[in-house]
């Protein structure tokens, strides 16, 4: 009998009438931590809890409690209180009256059977199993059997090798062995391929079950399907990778939260066993809750609901939110909006779960159920975990989109700047204080042909044109002083040896001792400008020449016409035997022919002289002469002419005699030219003065008039060849515009110079400076040559273009 008692799970204590313990079975002895012999002989009163009224009640009225269930509290050997359900019996034990206590350790104050326990374990959404030391399953719950799409009984007494793939089984066995060997629990995650070859992840807690001798009797395990979290984790890792690889984020446009959630949508809908799932995100900017992802039934009606308008306060205010979870569809405000008339589809329940991140609600997950599927709607905790993940993914996505946007804006701005730099300037360089290049743009290669490496390995002055080194040093000094410089130009040598003109705008940053320089290649511009200048000069010369030729032909034509018509007149008179033609008329005609012939002669002379000077074989014949008398003589020779014109001519000199080496002929040409101009451009009652004075090294001869003068802007040009200053007044006189240029050449041949001062409408003064040089071996002719005749002729020639 005692043997039987020892095999029971329940504890058995047998006492005699006085309370002395006659027997305690194995179960109770171990529960109270005594050894068998210690228990036998003890009085039950020594181990009952005397403070407990129920226990006292039972113990003092044992007969009353026979076959009645009650509770009793006992102390273990170490003094721990233990509660037992107790049933009292009265029987004979080894020939004497005795009371039996049948003791069940009280757990929930209810009596659970093994079947109850199994039912509970079957409800748990985790796979639970127990294996014996041979690796055979001695217990599995329903969830665990479902993993293999099997019944519980199909798995019992099988090993892993009979239900898992061999690789998995080896792995599991390894872990089980470890648990047994070290008598310690292990938590492990394991990937495997399910019945339809789908990838699954499980997390299993494995622990040893020990017997009272601390030996491993069984191994047990609790397995949880973590496939979905794993997939999310992988997606999160991917998004994280994208986050940190900012560059790739700009180029990979395919990543977003919707894609991540879409990737797991079938897992999610399977797991939830819902008929429809939608994920809604709240957009703060427009106060709208918008559906982002829809599966199953939810897909059907989402097109009708582009958004639900909810104010930010209403959306984020917790009091508007009932507890997350599944309830009948009629119930809630937000839900009403999210499901509309879905009743037609047979939807009866809906689940609503907040997606929150960092305390802020950013959206909701909405599930739809056609019927009250207890299993499905018991998944709240799982969904909440999912929602947290969603929160992270969505925030992550929003953040990455913001960053992407910012980066692309920045990139755009940078590109614009680069474009601007590339188009606005040709060269960009950052130059260090030691003249080395710190940074260069592509222009240096495109324009000058130097590669970046070449430039970085040399000094910036190495490619400056040697003649511009000093200039460049000065520019750099100025830049350091002023911090900014614009429009400075120097030359650079290209790799192929070409010279480039670069115009720089530079900035000096003293704190970093660097100069930032932007340059424009103006070589072509310069060349074009130079060409333009030469071209313009040539054009101007051509213009002057053509003007000259039209003038000169006019100059030739006018006297020739006069001569021809006069001669025609004479011929006519002779031919008609006209007696009326008197001597005076003939003389007048002849004078006119003479004057105009002289005018032609002057022109021809001037042209010949100019041509000779240009060709370089015009000669002057220097003689030591008294310049004072040469000038005086020629002046006086035109005095009569002036008088005739009603003009006053004054000759005045500070020196009586000054011997210098000169060509009398040429001096006369000079003087006659200046005097004839003075007459030409002076009115009738005008005054002309010739003045001579001697200075240290020079003789100064000036010819002044009080005539029309020369306009200021034209004054520089009158000595130029072919120039005829045109104004209305000059029209009254004739001229070829080569007289003064000849005068200048003649003066310069004497080693002298000529200049002019004039005030418009007041008068003009020409001043000649001749050096007081004499010919060493030259003799001085005391007498001036009698050239009165030739002088008169010269005057006539030079004055021939002046008409009365
Ligand atoms: P031209 O044969 O036309 O006189 P010149 O070479 O002698 O040629 O003179 C050039 C121009 O200088 C003249 O056309 C005239 O406009 C100006 N000029 C020269 N001398 C005088 C002066 N004394 N007063 C005013 N203008 C003068």
SS3 for 445-481 is: HHHHCCCHHHHHCCEHHHHECHHHHHHHHHHHHHHHH
Distances (CA, A) of 555 to 180, 550, 602, 641, 737: 135, 8, 10, 22, 11
Burial 668-687 (b: 16+ CB within 10 A, else e): bbbbbbbbbbbbbbbeeebb
Give the confidence band of 391 by pLDDT, cuts at 50, 70, 90: confident
DSSP H stretches of helix in 148-226:
152-155, 160-163, 166-182
Ligand 1 touching residue 752 (CB < 6 A): no
CA of 718 to the centre of ligand 1 (A): 7
Average confidence (pLDDT) over 392-397: 73
- The confidence score (pLDDT) of residue 326 equals 67
- The confidence score (pLDDT) of residue 237 equals 66
CA of 605 to the centre of ligand 1 (A): 18
Ligand 1 touching residue 678 (CB < 6 A): yes
Better-scored residue on pLDDT, 1 or 718:
718
CA torsion 325-329-332-335 (nearest 10°) is 80
- The confidence score (pLDDT) of residue 580 equals 64
Give the confidence band of 803 by pLDDT, cuts at 50, 70, 90: low
pLDDT at 49 over 60: yes
**Token couple for 182:** 């070290």
Asked if 502 contacts 522 with a C-beta cutoff of 8 angstroms, the reply is yes
Average confidence (pLDDT) over 570-576: 77
Average confidence (pLDDT) over 141-145: 90
Ligand 1 touching residue 725 (CB < 6 A): yes
- The confidence score (pLDDT) of residue 247 equals 42
| Percent over 70 (pLDDT), the chain | 83
- The confidence score (pLDDT) of residue 730 equals 40
Asked if 493 contacts 460 with a C-beta cutoff of 8 angstroms, the reply is no
CA of 762 to the centre of ligand 1 (A): 15
Give the confidence band of 254 by pLDDT, cuts at 50, 70, 90: very low
**Token couple for 23:** 């027997």
- The confidence score (pLDDT) of residue 731 equals 38
**Other C-beta atoms lying within 10 Å of the C-beta of residue 560:** 14
- The pTM is what? 0.39
CA of 677 to the centre of ligand 1 (A): 6
Report pLDDT digits (tens) over 59-80.
888 888 888 888 889 998 888 8
Ligand 1 touching residue 768 (CB < 6 A): no
The Cα 16–Cα 581 span in angstroms is: 199
- The confidence score (pLDDT) of residue 252 equals 46
CA-closest residue to ligand 1 atom 14: 724
pLDDT at 290 over 90: no
Distances (CA, A) of 423 to 189, 411, 416, 669: 60, 18, 10, 63
- The confidence score (pLDDT) of residue 372 equals 61
Beta bridge partners of 285: none
- The confidence score (pLDDT) of residue 732 equals 41
- The confidence score (pLDDT) of residue 783 equals 46
Average confidence (pLDDT) over 161-178: 86
Average confidence (pLDDT) over 137-156: 88
Q: Which atom of ligand 1 is the closest one to the Cα of 738?
A: 6
**Token couple for 103:** 């003791």
- The confidence score (pLDDT) of residue 500 equals 93
With the most atoms of ligand 1 within 8 angstroms of its CB, the residue from 690, 726, 733, 735 to mutate is 735
Ligand 1 touching residue 739 (CB < 6 A): yes
CA-closest residue to ligand 1 atom 18: 677
Give the confidence band of 125 by pLDDT, cuts at 50, 70, 90: confident
Q: Which atom of ligand 1 is the closest one to the Cα of 724?
A: 14
Give the confidence band of 344 by pLDDT, cuts at 50, 70, 90: low
Q: Is 152 exposed, middle or buried (0-12, 13-18, 19+ CB in 10 A)?
A: middle
Ligand 1 touching residue 745 (CB < 6 A): no
- The confidence score (pLDDT) of residue 719 equals 86
Ligand 1 touching residue 704 (CB < 6 A): no
**Token couple for 260:** 């991540």
Report pLDDT digits (tens) over 76-92.
888 888 888 888 888 88
Please give the mean pLDDT across all residues of the chain: 81
pLDDT at 251 over 50: no
With the most atoms of ligand 1 within 8 angstroms of its CB, the residue from 677, 726, 797 to mutate is 677
CA of 144 to the centre of ligand 1 (A): 125
Pairing relationship of beta strands 186-193 and 81-93 according to DSSP bridges:
unpaired
Ligand 1 touching residue 677 (CB < 6 A): yes
Average confidence (pLDDT) over 528-536: 87
pLDDT at 451 over 70: yes
pLDDT at 723 over 60: no
Ligand 1 touching residue 705 (CB < 6 A): yes
- The confidence score (pLDDT) of residue 498 equals 93
Ligand 1 touching residue 702 (CB < 6 A): no
CA-closest residue to ligand 1 atom 12: 718
**Other C-beta atoms lying within 10 Å of the C-beta of residue 594:** 14
Average confidence (pLDDT) over 95-110: 77
DSSP 483-539: SEEEEEEEEEE-TTS-EEEEEEEEEEETTTTEEEEEEEE-HHHHHHHHHHHHHHHHH
pLDDT at 163 over 60: yes
Ligand 1 touching residue 764 (CB < 6 A): yes
Distances (CA, A) of 646 to 278, 341, 638, 641, 764: 120, 125, 13, 9, 19
Report pLDDT digits (tens) over 504-517.
989 999 988 999 89
CA of 683 to the centre of ligand 1 (A): 14
CA-closest residue to ligand 1 atom 21: 677
The separation between CA 214 and the C-alpha centre of its own chain, rounded to angstroms, equals: 72
**Token couple for 249:** 């984020």
């Amino acid at each position: 009998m005692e043997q039987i008692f020892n095999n029971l799970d329940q504890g058995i204590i047998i006492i005699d009438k006085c309370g002395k313990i006659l027997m305690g079975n194995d179960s109770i002895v171990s529960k109270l931590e005594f050894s068998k012999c210690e228990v036998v002989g003890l009085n039950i009163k020594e181990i009952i809890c005397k403070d407990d009224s129920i226990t006292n009640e039972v113990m003092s009225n044992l007969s009353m409690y026979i076959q009645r269930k009650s509770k009793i509290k006992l102390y273990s050997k170490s003094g721990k209180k233990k509660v037992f359900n107790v049933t009292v019996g009265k029987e004979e034990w080894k020939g004497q009256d005795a009371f039996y206590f049948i003791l069940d350790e009280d757990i929930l104050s209810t009596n659970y059977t093994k079947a109850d326990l199994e039912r509970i374990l079957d409800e748990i959404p985790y796979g639970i199993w127990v294996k014996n030391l041979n690796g055979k399953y001695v217990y599995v719950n329903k969830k665990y059997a479902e993993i293999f799409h099997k019944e519980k009984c199909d798995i019992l007494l099988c090993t892993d090798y009979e239900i898992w793939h061999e690789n998995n089984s080896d792995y599991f066995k390894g872990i089980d062995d470890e648990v047994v060997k070290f008598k310690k629990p292990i938590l492990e995650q394991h990937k495997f391929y399910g019945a339809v070859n789908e990838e699954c992840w499980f997390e299993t807690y494995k622990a040893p079950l020990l017997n009272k001798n601390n030996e491993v009797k069984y191994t047990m395990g609790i397995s949880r399907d973590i496939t979905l979290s794993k997939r999310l984790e992988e997606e999160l890792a991917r998004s994280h990778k994208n986050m940190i690889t900012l560059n790739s984020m700009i180029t990979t446009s395919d990543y977003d939260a919707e894609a991540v959630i879409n990737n797991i949508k079938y897992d999610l809908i399977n797991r939830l066993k819902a008929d429809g799932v939608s994920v809604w995100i709240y957009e703060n900017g427009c106060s709208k809750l918008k559906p982002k992802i829809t599966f199953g039934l939810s897909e059907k009606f989402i097109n009708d609901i582009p958004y639900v308008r909810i104010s930010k306060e209403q959306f984020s205010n917790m009091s508007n939110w009932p507890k997350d979870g599944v309830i009948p569809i009629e119930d809630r405000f937000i839900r009403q909006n999210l499901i509309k008339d879905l009743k037609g589809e047979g939807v009866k329940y809906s689940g609503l779960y907040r997606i929150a991140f960092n305390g802020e609600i950013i959206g909701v997950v909405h599930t739809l159920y056609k019927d009250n599927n207890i299993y499905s709607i018991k998944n709240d905790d799982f969904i909440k975990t999912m929602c947290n993940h969603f929160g992270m993914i969505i925030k992550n996505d929003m953040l990455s989109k913001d960053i992407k946007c910012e980066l692309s804006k920045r990139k755009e701005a940078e590109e614009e700047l680069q474009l601007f730099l590339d188009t606005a300037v040709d060269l960009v360089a950052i130059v260090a204080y030691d003249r080395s290049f710190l940074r260069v743009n592509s222009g240096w290669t495109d324009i000058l042909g130097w590669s970046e490496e070449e430039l970085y390995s040399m000094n910036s002055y190495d490619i400056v044109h040697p003649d511009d080194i000093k200039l460049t040093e000065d520019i750099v000094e100025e830049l350091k002083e002023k911090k900014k410089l614009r429009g400075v130009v120097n030359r650079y040598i290209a790799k192929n040896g070409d010279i480039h003109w670069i115009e720089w705008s530079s900035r000096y940053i003293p704190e970093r001792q660097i100069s930032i320089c932007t340059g424009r290649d103006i070589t072509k511009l310069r060349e074009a400008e130079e060409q333009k200048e030469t071209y313009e000069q040539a054009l101007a010369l051509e213009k002057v020449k053509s003007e000259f030729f039209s003038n000169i032909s006019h100059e030739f034509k006018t006297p020739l016409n006069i001569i021809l018509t006069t001669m025609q007149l004479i011929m006519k008179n002779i031919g008609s035997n006209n007696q009326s033609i008197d001597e005076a008329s003939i003389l007048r005609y002849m004078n006119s022919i003479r004057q105009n012939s002289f005018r032609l002669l002057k022109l021809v002379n001037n042209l010949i002289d100019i041509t000779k000077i240009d060709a370089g074989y015009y000669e002057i014949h220097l003689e030591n002469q008294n310049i004072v008398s040469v000038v005086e003589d020629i002046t006086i020779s035109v005095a009569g002419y002036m008088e005739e014109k009603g003009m006053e001519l004054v000759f005045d000199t500070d020196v009586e005699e000054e011997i210098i080496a000169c060509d009398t002929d040429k001096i006369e040409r000079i003087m006659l030219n200046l005097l004839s101009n003075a007459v030409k451009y002076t009115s009738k009652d005008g005054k002309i003065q010739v003045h001579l004075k001697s200075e240290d090294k020079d003789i100064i001869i000036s010819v002044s008039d009080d005539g029309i003068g020369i306009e200021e802007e034209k004054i520089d040009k009158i000595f130029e060849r072919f120039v005829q200053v045109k104004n209305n007044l000059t029209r009254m006189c004739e001229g070829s515009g080569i007289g003064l240029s000849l005068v200048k050449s003649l003066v310069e041949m004497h080693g002298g110079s000529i200049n002019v001062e004039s005030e418009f409408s007041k008068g003009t003064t020409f001043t000649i400076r001749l050096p007081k040089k004499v010919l060493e071996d030259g003799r001085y002719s005391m007498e001036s040559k009698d050239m009165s005749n030739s002088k008169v002729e010269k005057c006539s020639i030079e004055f021939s273009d002046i008409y009365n």
